[in-house]
Amino acid sequence: TQLLEQSPQFLSIQEGENLTVYCNSSSVFSSLQWYRQEPGEGPVLLVTVVTGGEVKKLKRLTFQFGDARKDSSLHITAAQPGDTGLYLCAGAENYGQNFVFGPGTRLSVLP
Amino acid sequence: DVKVTQSSRYLVKRTGEKVFLECVQDMDHENMFWYRQDPGLGLRLIYFSYDVKMKEKGDIPEGYSVSREKKERFSLILESASTNQTSMYLCASSIRTAGYGYTFGSGTRLTVV
């Protein structure tokens, strides 16, 4: 089973700041996903990336898949309190249907 | 609005009890999954199912079993609850296509005392 690492583990910033969180592995993924989980709720899918070097944007969120498909980053521009939550990355190997999840980055955006 | 529904948000059970966690999805998804989530450990896969009557062990199946008698329902069973099974349990479903995202339920926070 591949191991996914996420950094930083915790991040607390002021509203309006930019931030980047990272997801890394020694394994190559056929697809990688990012989820956001709010307290007391299940994770909600934000994006799926499948091509090395791929960049996807979702409003103020920019997701990038590494060229070697072993890592990914999530950049948030002008963070808002509503961005607060646990950000999870999840990867699948060999075009499988099962994903392995990282431990997450807990983001707190202060007003 | 499509959803995955978990029967209980909070449960408190005693050590040794048999515990049933129910999950129902209304999206006609083939795949269903049970994860547990613990601080610092992320989501760990307990069991999954790609079809009715089908089940496969995940990474941490010990102490658990599952049942999938109908396509929309996937039940997790703790045969004899122990305190180390205190956790947040998350059910998810997806279509049978590689790389497709999961839809999660809201979770059941189980405390075993």
CATH number of the domain where residue B52 is located: 2.60.40.10
Chain B residues whose beta carbon lies within 8 Å of the beta carbon of residue A92: 98-99
Give tens-digit pLDDT for B21-37. Answer: 999 999 999 999 999 99
Each residue's pLDDT tens digit, A29-61: 989 999 999 988 999 999 999 999 999 999 999
Q: Tell me how far apart the alpha carbons of residues A105 and B16 are, in angstroms, rounded to a whole number.
A: 35
Query: Is A34's Cβ below 8 Å from some Cβ in B?
Result: no
Q: What is the chain B residue with the closest CA to A34?
A: B101
The percent of residues above 90 in pLDDT, for chain B, comes to 85
* Chain A contact set for B94 (CB, 8 A): 97
Average model confidence (pLDDT) across chain A: 93
Length of chain B in terms of residues written: 113
Residue of B nearest to A41 (CA): B106
CATH for A14-95+105-109 is: 2.60.40.10
**SS3 label, residue A82:** helix
Which pLDDT score, from 0 to 100, does residue B1 have? 65
Q: Residues B34, B46: contact at Cβ < 8 Å?
A: yes
Q: Residue B85 CB: number of other CB atoms within 10 A?
A: 18
Q: If you count residue pairs, one on A and one on B, with CB atoms under 8 Å apart, how many are there?
A: 67
Mean pLDDT of B49-64: 93
Range of the domain at B18: 4-112
The predicted structure's pLDDT at residue B101: 86
Q: What φ, ψ does residue B84 adopt, rounded to 5°?
A: -75, 0
Q: Are A70 and A24 in contact (CB under 8 A)?
A: yes
Going from N- to C-terminal start, the domains of chain A cover 14-95+105-109
For residue A90, which residues of chain B lie inside 8 Å, CB to CB? 43, 102
Q: Identify any residues that bridge with B68 across adjacent strands, giving them in sequence order.
A: none
pLDDT for residue A67 is more than 60: yes
